[in-house]
Structure 1
Amino acid sequence: MSKKPDIVMIVTDQQRYDTIRALGARHMDTPNIDRLAARGVSFTNCHVTAPSCVPCRASLFSGYYPHTTGVLANGQEWSRTWISKLRQVGYHTVNIGKMHTIPYDAPAGFDERYVVENKDRYYEGRWFFDEWDKALAAHGLKKQQREEYRKRPDYRSRLGAFTWDLPPHLQSDNFVGGMTKWWLKTKPLEKPLFLVVGFPGPHPPYDPTPDYAEKYMKRDLPLPEVDEEELQQLPPPFVEKRHHDVEVDHDSVAWDLDPSREQLHRLRAYYYANVEMIDREVGEILDALEETGRLDNAIIIFTSDHGDCLGDHGLSQKWAPYEQVTRVPLIISASKRFQGGRMIDEMVQLFDLGPTILEWAGAPLEDSYEAISLNPALEGVDFKGRDHVFCEQGRDVNLTGADYLTMVRSRTHKLVHFAGQTYGQLFDLQNDPHERHNLWDAPEAAQIKQTLLTALMEWHVDSTVRTRNIRKRTVVPIAESA
């Protein structure tokens, strides 16, 4: 097709891979995302470059690993993106919802931004009023958040799971979906469109409307299986994280070191319900694209910035690079451009979307990009994917016990290295896919451990050489990033 495609990128926050029915999650109802999968290409082994929001998104929208961008933890400033390249080749660029730039309202290369940030904003940026805050205020309301939830007598037993009891259309994901439909139906536009829709969910607080919560509360759901042996093998930073998350209620989640099956069932029921609510909004966005004549020439991307442990490994939320956190759904749907109904199992990284999108648009790529294009896989030509994927994280508000950790994963094994420490993690993913048996000190695993440590060293060396000329250009003054 000669006409430049509209590109619609739907990014949820903190959505696990195992939450889409078409990708094997039989406990879920996701008919609209399933429709994308049926018509599109699903990358079943896509991993993020950071196990938390800000460093992952700075990496995704720059094409560089977190250590190259210098953004290794939440709250760190970033605004430079490849989105400005799309504007240079004629695209109108729009963000509706969450991007998690720092500052929140940095232009970041967009022509238009309608910012919606965290459901429960309590520390940095607490007094930034986004579009959702303003809509609630116009109705004489304010968002449900920690200061309100803490008044509940059952607050500490809920693990962050609360129903949204204000008007349903003002729930954050419903609101972002509604604003997207409004924009698509009312904005006259002759240029090709690049649209990033950032849903705040299913990031906590896990807050579906009561009807969706009730539906999943009635279901048998997969729950975490954690025993004392696994807990005893956790490295010190993750032990500290477990206790920290009990003491500090980040995102309205007051964790429990030994949650009951009832607590875990409710946590997951509300999380899954929130995903289905997003699925409904995805369907309505697709309908709006069709009504406005844009669907036939559109490429739709569905993905997330990282997952959520939801009690797996005894942990809450993210930061620890287990599969439940690093592996995310990635579906690219454009039935008139790419043969649909395919699953690609080669390993890729989420930030590989950058060069892929730029190629669709006919925009120039930087030789220094650490991300690679996925177009060979989409076009059905030879594609071997990556031999290793990498994920890294610096000290953060929840990860207080480690200065810097790095994950390297091959097809068969995963290693997690903690800077300056003699301990670490090593998992045989073929024989231990749930990552419960740490082989870091096992003599029989010494050779594979050294192989992965060498891969980690070579990655850093290659990265240093490749990006030596761009390290000071990943954050720009706000006035220059428009």
Structure 2
Amino acid sequence: MSTASSKTSKKPNVIWIFGDQHRGQALGCSGDPNVHTPNIDNMAASGVHFANAVSGIPLCCPYRGSLLTGRYPHLVVPGHEHRLPPEQPTIAHVLNDAGYHTAYFGKWHLDGHHEREGRAAHHTVPPNRRGGFQHWIGYENNNSQWDCWVHGGEGEEAFHYRLPGYETDELTNLLIAYLDEQSKRKDEGNDRPFFAVLSVQPPHDPYLAPERFRQNHNAAGVQLRPNVPNVPRVQEQARKELAGYYAMIENWDWNIGRILDALQGCGLADDTHVIFFSDHGDMHGSHGQFRKTCPWEEAIRVPMIISGEKSFYGRRTGKSNVLFNHVDVAPTTLGLCGIDKPDWMQGTDLSSQRLPGRPAVSLPDSAYLQLVVPTGHGNSVDRAWRGIVTDDGWKYVCMENTPWLMFNLKEDPYEQVNLAHNTVFAGERKRLNDRLRQWVADTGDRFDLPEL
């Protein structure tokens, strides 16, 4: 094992760790009384916690396409079970060219496999459709945490096997083994930096967790958010599912602690940025809704923490209120590595929020929100919509040709007073509609907004 005094990489390493359907409110550091997340909370304390991070599209496949490319969903992966175009460059290609070793572990969901074609866990993503990552062990999709299959390699070295335990634990084991390998290479004088991604399915439904985490949660003890309506069937489902959801998050937090310990033990902690986030949230009964694809806070707000890498030495720490959208993750990651984003990335490099030496950029005045292609699934919004969240605390969302939702989040954080059809706020509505129209134009999107 190397030590903290070992030779360090010329460029910093970066790790992405993210789960699926983990809403930003469901953290100890975000004030949720139902969950204990000491390792994530420590990351927030030693790093930058972006309290206004959003998922610009609260749906798995489109989010992931934008995550890897820094481009908006309508240009890359517009809907559920749509394929990431193989010719589309990703952040992995940029970092490969910059001398990084790139690795991906876990859920992919970008190969366009359809449920009607059979179980996605048994679908094999060919090497040319793995986003340019040099080392890839993953799966297309899986909703069975104790029956998770992964594959990778190619030709005679291809493999496909069932993980021996709970998905989050086992995928974390794979990342830790990779970190140990990188440490050994560093000890041998190979200071090639790495970019590693760990993508786990939990806390996505089904809401199941190992017993030692589940035993701390039961339906009766869950404190519901104030915007969960007093409707028995809604509250019953929300409580039942949240008990498992919080147990899954606490298991995830435990595994994140294992990753941080491994970095420290390998002597890589001071060389490695760790970025923690989620693809989108989960409604869990708020406004009577469940799952995702809708623009309310529980679905679009996500965790976003940049930590690690000499945490208290010349690095900004604390809470940031800067709007951070999904298309900003890749450009910001490149910025942390001292690499300018390529022209084809549309997002903003917000690395100066963590590294004072990075060039300052114009901070976004709003974040663009979309549901491009509805899934048609139950518990999902079945209409396309577009919206924005602004830096002065407003949210505005339209379905085609009509306003739908409008909230002043500063006075109404639980979105209980819809102002979209209140003439008293007609001036504000027009301002927001005009800004949304500009987003549609600037991103090359097509959507018929109302004429106000």
TM-score by length of 1: 0.76
Alignment of 1:89 onto 2:84: no
Cα distance change of structure 1 residues 272 and 227 upon mapping to structure 2, 3 Å threshold: closer
Query: What displacement does 1:27 show?
Result: 2.8
Partner residue in 2 for 1:322? 296
Q: How does 1:36-435 map to 2 (within 5 A)?
A: 36-69=43-76, 71-78=77-84, 79=86, 80=88, 81-103=90-112, 105=125, 106-120=129-143, 130-131=150-151, 135-136=161-162, 170-186=165-181, 188-189=184-185, 190=190, 191-217=192-218, 220-225=221-226, 258-259=232-233, 261-336=235-310, 338-339=314-315, 341-380=317-356, 385-393=363-371, 394-398=373-377, 402-410=382-390, 411-419=392-400, 421-422=401-402, 424-435=404-415
* SS state at 2:249 partner: helix
Query: What displacement does 1:436 show?
Result: 2.0
**8 Å Cα contact 1:173-1:278 kept in structure 2:** yes
Paired with 1:433 and 1:207, the residues of 2 have a C-alpha distance of: 29
Q: CA RMSD in A?
A: 2.8
Aligned residues: 400
**8 Å Cα contact 2:50-2:305 kept in structure 1:** yes
Cα distance change of structure 1 residues 227 and 371 upon mapping to structure 2, 3 Å threshold: closer
Cα deviations by residue, 1:119-173 (Å, 9 ceiling, x for unpaired): 328xxxxxx9534995548xxxxxxxxxxxxxxxxxxxxxxxxxxxxxxx61111
User: Does 424-433 or 218-227 show the bigger shift?
Assistant: 218-227
**8 Å Cα contact 2:280-2:302 kept in structure 1:** yes
Give the one of 8, 11, 20 matched to 1:13. Answer: 20
* SS state at 1:100 partner: coil
Paired with 2:416 and 2:35, the residues of 1 have a C-alpha distance of: 25
* SS state at 1:296 partner: helix
**8 Å Cα contact 1:38-1:340 kept in structure 2:** no
Partner residue in 1 for 2:30? 23
**8 Å Cα contact 1:95-1:197 kept in structure 2:** yes
Cα deviations by residue, 1:47-67 (Å, 9 ceiling, x for unpaired): 112110111111111111112
Cα distance change of structure 1 residues 292 and 93 upon mapping to structure 2, 3 Å threshold: same
> Which amino acid letter does the alignment assign opposite residue 133 of structure 2?
F
Paired with 1:114 and 1:457, the residues of 2 have a C-alpha distance of: 41
**8 Å Cα contact 2:143-2:201 kept in structure 1:** no
**8 Å Cα contact 1:8-1:298 kept in structure 2:** yes
> Which amino acid letter does the alignment assign opposite residue 406 of structure 2?
L
Cα distance change of structure 1 residues 338 and 464 upon mapping to structure 2, 3 Å threshold: farther
Give the one of 418, 424, 444 matched to 1:464. Answer: 444
**8 Å Cα contact 1:289-1:295 kept in structure 2:** yes
Partner residue in 1 for 2:3? none
Paired with 1:197 and 1:118, the residues of 2 have a C-alpha distance of: 14
Paired with 1:341 and 1:213, the residues of 2 have a C-alpha distance of: 33
Cα distance change of structure 1 residues 432 and 20 upon mapping to structure 2, 3 Å threshold: same
Query: What displacement does 1:290 show?
Result: 2.0
Paired with 2:196 and 2:10, the residues of 1 have a C-alpha distance of: 17
* SS state at 1:306 partner: coil
Cα distance change of structure 1 residues 29 and 434 upon mapping to structure 2, 3 Å threshold: same
Paired with 1:334 and 1:289, the residues of 2 have a C-alpha distance of: 9
Cα distance change of structure 1 residues 401 and 205 upon mapping to structure 2, 3 Å threshold: closer
> Which amino acid letter does the alignment assign opposite residue 22 of structure 2?
Q
> Which amino acid letter does the alignment assign opposite residue 15 of structure 1?
H
Paired with 2:329 and 2:407, the residues of 1 have a C-alpha distance of: 28
**8 Å Cα contact 2:202-2:249 kept in structure 1:** yes
Partner residue in 1 for 2:115? none
Cα deviations by residue, 1:44-87 (Å, 9 ceiling, x for unpaired): 11111211011111111111111232x22110110531210100
* SS state at 2:402 partner: coil
Gaps of 5+ in 1: 122-127, 138-168, 231-256, 466-482
Cα distance change of structure 1 residues 434 and 407 upon mapping to structure 2, 3 Å threshold: same
> Which amino acid letter does the alignment assign opposite residue 77 of structure 1?
R
* SS state at 1:464 partner: coil
**8 Å Cα contact 1:63-1:355 kept in structure 2:** yes
Gaps of 5+ in 2: 1-7, 113-123, 153-158, 446-452
**8 Å Cα contact 2:25-2:301 kept in structure 1:** no
User: Does 378-387 or 171-180 show the bigger shift?
Assistant: 378-387
TM-score by length of 2: 0.81
**8 Å Cα contact 2:335-2:350 kept in structure 1:** no
**8 Å Cα contact 1:334-1:340 kept in structure 2:** no
Cα distance change of structure 1 residues 94 and 82 upon mapping to structure 2, 3 Å threshold: same
